[in-house]
């Protein structure tokens, strides 16, 4: 009896069982709940709104934490249904430290932590912001976010190389600008770390205007760095775009389309 209940819950919670109506209802319910939680966190920062509806925010928070806690406990219970977590004790310990399980824990931890250890009011305010970690839970229920996660995983080496190249360019540009502009602007370009703020805003083509070169050599270097910045930040976009296209192609190649109705054969037909 318990085993049947466990298998039933496993099919509902497991993301690979997306063809089941109960799984879709479960996913949609949690997605909506997560969005409303994020909205509640945002609205609570509006002082008048928060004081007026404080009671309702508290009730909704308790309701959400109860739901997320039940979900976390159920996932901890049924995780042995996966081959890599099949051992009753060690498997569950291993599951607890997986990225998605840690996100699930962070989603409810801010509610329970003040009950366990004494904390001041300032720390409680910070914990409230930690509730935004619930937004990361969408990665489990959204197929699009899972696809993007797969793309990031597949292209991580290329992305790391690009980030490393950007960091090298940032250090070189900031160092050169410091030596060029330091005498003319000792306050703005007081050191290489201070010049890095200019480097970041220039490489990202934002250009806040609070710090900028005034010497001819500095202006010339700034123009070159700005052009390099456009090119350097276009590279990760291209890598992600190509990776996303490859991932979509893989998904389409795995799908078996019915020639009569045009639907996925793996999904139950109505």
User: How far, in Å, CA of 199 to CA of 232, rounded?
Assistant: 13
Angle 116-120-125 (CA atoms, 0-180°, nearest 5)? 95
* 118: DSSP letter: -
Q: Specify whether the CB–CB gap between 43 and 128 falls below 8 A.
A: no
d(C-alpha 239, C-alpha 6), whole Å: 42
Compute the residue count for the chain. Answer: 270
Task: Spell out the per-residue pLDDT of the chain, length 270, in tens.
Answer: 778 888 888 888 876 665 678 888 888 888 888 888 888 888 888 888 878 888 898 899 899 999 999 999 999 998 888 888 888 888 899 999 988 888 888 888 878 877 777 655 455 555 556 666 666 676 666 666 777 778 888 888 888 888 888 889 889 999 999 999 988 998 888 889 888 888 888 888 777 778 889 999 999 998 888 888 888 777 888 888 888 788 778 777 765 555 445 455 555 444
- Torsion of the alpha carbons at 90, 92, 95 and 96, rounded to the nearest 10: -110
What is the value of pTM for the model shown?
0.62
* Span 156-254 CATH architecture: Orthogonal Bundle (1.10)
Residue with tokens 């609205």: 43
Which sign, positive or negative, has the C-alpha torsion 199, 201, 206, 212? negative
| Buried-exposed string 28-58: b where 16+ CB fall within 10 A, e elsewhere | eebeebbeebeebbeebeeeeeeeebeeebe
Pick the CATH number of 2-141 from 1.20.120.350, 3.90.226.10, 3.20.20.450, 1.10.20.10: 1.20.120.350
- Provide the angle, in degrees to the nearest 10, between the axes of the packed helices 2-13 and 21-43: 60
pLDDT of residue 70: 93
Tokens of 37: 């939680």
Pull the structure tokens for residue 24.
Answer: 């879709």
pLDDT of residue 122: 52
Q: Which two tokens stand for residue 240?
A: 């992600």
The reported pLDDT for the residue numbered 260 is: 47
Domain boundaries, the chain: 2-141, 156-254
Closest CA to 106 of 132, 141, 145, 140: 132
């Amino acid at each position: 009896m318990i085993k049947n209940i466990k298998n039933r819950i496993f099919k509902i919670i497991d993301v690979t069982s997306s063809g089941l109506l109960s799984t879709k209802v479960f996913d949609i319910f949690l997605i909506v709940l997560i969005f409303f939680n994020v909205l509640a966190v945002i609205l609570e920062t509006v002082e008048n709104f928060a004081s007026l509806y404080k009671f309702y925010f508290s009730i909704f928070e308790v309701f959400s934490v109860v739901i997320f806690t039940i979900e976390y406990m159920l996932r901890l219970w049924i995780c042995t249904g996966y081959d890599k977590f099949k051992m009753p004790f060690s498997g569950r310990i291993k599951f607890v430290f997986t990225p998605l399980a840690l996100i699930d824990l962070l989603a409810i931890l801010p509610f329970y932590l003040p009950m366990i250890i004494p904390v001041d009011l300032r720390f409680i305010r910070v914990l409230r912001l930690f509730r935004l970690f619930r937004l990361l839970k969408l990665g489990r229920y959204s197929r699009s976010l899972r696809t993007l996660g797969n793309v990031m995983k597949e292209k991580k080496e290329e992305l790391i190389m690009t980030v490393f190249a950007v960091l090298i360019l940032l250090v070189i540009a900031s160092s050169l600008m410091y030596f060029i502009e330091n005498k003319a602007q000792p306050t703005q370009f007081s050191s290489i770390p201070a010049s890095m703020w200019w480097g970041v805003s220039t490489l990202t083509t934002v250009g806040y205007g609070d710090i900028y070169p005034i010497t001819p050599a500095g202006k010339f270097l700034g123009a070159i760095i700005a052009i390099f910045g456009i090119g350097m930040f276009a590279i990760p976009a291209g890598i992600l775009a190509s990776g996303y296209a490859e991932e979509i192609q893989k998904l389409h190649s795995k799908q078996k389309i019915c020639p009569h109705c045009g639907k996925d054969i793996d999904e139950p037909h109505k």
